[in-house]
Structure 1
């Protein structure tokens, strides 16, 4: 009996984690759809940096509502190709030093950054996800947006204030 309860709980946890990952994908693709780069890429290159908790569904790749493909890949923390090979960066858990290094590398380049981890959203990232058991929301760092070189449609600001996506 105990084994059945543990397996059922594990299945439930796995199913809930998959739902959270799908909700995160929906939010991330939504954010990307409101962004415009100085030179629009034919395919959007999203790079995952650092250990992530909710990005598994993103790794499957996707297509934006405009038909533009989103190619997703993982890069090692400190990888020099972030600036040249990424249009957007999804940032997982990084040490303060690694986070600072990443932001110093991408500053001045038209890169959209989204933080997954418990980022206070005060320095660096344009968007910071807030993932809980019941919803996925995000915050916008207006200072980072202004300095990024990526234009963000004003409607995304309203989205950040609305209800969150339910997993």
Structure 2
């Protein structure tokens, strides 16, 4: 899957975040002015799915899984499309399942986690459990992209943006292709 050039972006020092915004495509109903809350929610869910699949396409695990296992943890707002399961542009299937934050299978049966609303204690315990295991984390909630979360989504009516926590990337055990940084640098260099 190709990730569209970002609409804004910045690269900051290590330990800070990379912000890359991707346009949210609206359907004909939204352009006609007849958008409803459910239509917007569906469009956001589809846009989030595109962004998550794009993020996953830039990730490399120490041992590449034939089927990528994405675990949804906590109540989510935009994961409806992800729950259906999907296939990456490379043809690799993505199996999606919901697990509780304290489920020990997260460490052994998840290549990536999509995190919804979790308490600070749940987040702390979850990230403590996956430390030392190659698990990529993507946070949906308005989280400050603190240590633990590798990618943090920012969803609005106009776009889906994400931040990358460079410290968490280094600790995750999952390599992120430099193209993610290059996309941002290229856009930030434009007038």
TM-score by structure 2 length?
A: 0.77
Greater length-normalized contact order (CA 8 Å, ≥ 6 residues apart): 2
CA displacement, residues 12-61 of structure 1 (integer Å, 9 cap, x when unaligned): 10010000000000000000000000000000000000000000000111
Map of 1:138 onto structure 2: 162
Structure 1 unaligned residues grouped into runs of 5+: 1-10
Question: Quick one: distance in 1 between partners of 2:176 and 2:101?
Answer: 26
How far apart, CA to CA, are the structure 2 residues paired with 1:83 and 1:107?
9
CA distance in 1, matches of 2:47, 2:186: 15
The 3-state SS of whatever aligns with 1:57 is helix
User: What are the ranges of 5 or more consecutive residues in structure 2 without an aligned counterpart?
Assistant: 1-34
Who is 1:22 aligned against?
A: 46
Counterpart pick for 2:80 among 46, 56, 59 = 56
**Aligned-pair CA distance for 1:93:** 0.4
| Aligned-CA RMSD value | 1.8
Give per-residue Cα distances to partners, 1:114-152, cap 9 Å, x unaligned.
000011012211100000111101000000101111010
Over 6 Å off, 4+ runs: none
Alignment-derived partner of residue 4 in structure 2: none
Aligned residues: 155
Change (3 A) 1:162 1:86: farther
2:91 is the counterpart of 1:67: yes
Q: Is structure 2 residue 65 aligned with structure 1 residue 41?
A: yes
Contact residue 38 and residue 149 of structure 1 kept, 8 A: yes
Question: Scaled by the length of structure 1, what TM-score is found?
Answer: 0.88
Greater share of helix residues, 1 or 2?
Answer: 1
Query: Which whole-Å CA distance do the structure 2 matches of 1:55 and 1:160 have between them?
Result: 25
